[in-house]
Amino acid sequence: MRLKAGIWIKAYIRRCHTEGVPAVVVRHGDDDAGSIFIRINKLDGTSAIFGPAPAGLDGAKLDRQLMPLLGGRLIADPEADEYLRREVDFDPDLWIVEVEARDGRHFLDDWLMPLGS
């Protein structure tokens, strides 16, 4: 059974805070099944975005899996804002969490899609 989105978000934010990294919910989505997008704001005008791995990947039905979006590259903050706005237009039930990490730490290792999937 997949962990509900609201519970996953609370656990993720707690993990960030225990590491001394600020993380906040920017957009509250559906508590049970909302898609989750994580924005890593490097506080230098650039961000990285992680989002849901495509459905049908091994383990994705039971565990939440994320992947770097936009080729995993850093993008300018206005471009990140626009990308996330388009995602909200497509799916109004999604969550957005913003993490402020100058060093780019994301704490998503346990949830990243395995390479080669």
CATH of 5-111, picked from 3.40.1530.20, 3.90.79.10, 3.10.150.10, 2.40.440.10, is 3.40.1530.20
Q: Where are the domains of the chain?
A: 5-111
Per-residue confidence at 105, pLDDT binned at 50, 70, 90? very high
In this structure, the number of other CB atoms found within 10 A of the CB of residue 27 comes to 16
Distance CA 98, CA 39 (A): 5
Locate all alpha helices (DSSP H) within the chain, ordered by sequence. Answer: 5-18, 77-90
Instruction: Please provide the average confidence, as pLDDT, over all residues in the chain.
Output: 90
Q: What is the pLDDT of residue 10?
A: 96
The residues facing 98 across adjacent strands are 24, 39
Rounded to whole angstroms, the Cα distance separating 68 from 53 reads 9
40-75 tens-digit pLDDT: 999 999 999 999 988 765 544 557 889 999 989 999
Q: Give which of 54, 93, 64 is closest to 3, Cα–Cα.
A: 64
- Which helix or strand (DSSP H or E) is residue 97 part of? strand 95-100
